[in-house]
């Protein structure tokens, strides 16, 4: 994921969780962020889908363990989309 896209993702998380100082780390998980519950996880995925023009399956979302995996998933989806 390029730095511009990382900034876009960080801004989504900062806005959704109302935390302008939130630092995006690959090992960041929902447990590390106040307010990151199941409802906001769904909201996060929708916002990411809209921002990056991708779609996630339920299995993909369920398998995510941290932000690093989320970044890799977004990058992979965008690469496939560009190749199509």
65: domain CATH number is 1.10.1200.10
Domain that holds residue 66: 3-83
Q: Count the domains in the chain.
A: 1
Measured CA to CA, the distance from residue 26 to residue 82 in angstroms comes to 24
Mean pLDDT of 1-9: 96
pLDDT of residue 24: 96
Residue 12 reports pLDDT greater than 80: yes
Position 19 scores a pLDDT of 97
Task: Tell me the pTM.
Answer: 0.92
Give the pLDDT confidence score for residue 82 in this predicted structure. Answer: 80
What single string gives the DSSP state of each residue in 25-70? Answer: -TT--GGGSTT--HHHHHHHHHHHHHHHT----HHHHHH--SHHHH
């Amino acid at each position: 994921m390029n730095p511009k896209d990382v900034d876009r993702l960080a801004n989504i998380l900062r806005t959704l969780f109302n935390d302008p100082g939130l630092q995006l780390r690959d090992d960041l998980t929902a447990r590390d962020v106040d307010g990151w519950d199941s409802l906001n996880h769904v909201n996060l995925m929708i916002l990411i889908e809209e921002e990056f023009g991708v779609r996630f399956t339920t299995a993909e979302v369920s398998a995510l363990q941290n932000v690093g995996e989320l970044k890799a998933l977004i990058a992979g989806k965008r690469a496939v989309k560009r190749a199509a």
